[in-house]
Amino acid sequence: MPPVIDPRICKVCGKCADICPEDVFFGSEKKQVPVVSYPDDCWHCNSCVYECPVEGAIKLRIPLPMHVVYKPGTK
């Protein structure tokens, strides 16, 4: 699931668009709520969430297949 930005609490600072390594916010206008232009290119790295100065303004859910499941081996 790509980042979801809550426009009600977003401060339109643009830090998420600047920090994204895959440029999923490409084409977003300055001083406006960033738009996720390329959702399929999101790596789910959470850099946009960490960089955002407003807690809860960006939500990012890691897809289930990307979770690493640990299963201890038997000896």
Q: What is the CATH number of the domain that holds 5?
A: 3.30.70.20
| Residue 35, domain member (yes or no) | yes
State the pLDDT at residue 71.
Answer: 66
Count of the separate structural domains present in the chain: 1
All residue ranges of the chain with pLDDT < 50 are none
Q: Which domain holds residue 49?
A: 1-61
- What's the rounded Cα separation, in Å, for the pair 56 and 19? 17
State the pLDDT at residue 63.
Answer: 75
State the pLDDT at residue 1.
Answer: 79
State the pLDDT at residue 56.
Answer: 93
Q: Which two tokens stand for residue 39?
A: 């959702």
66 three-state secondary structure: helix
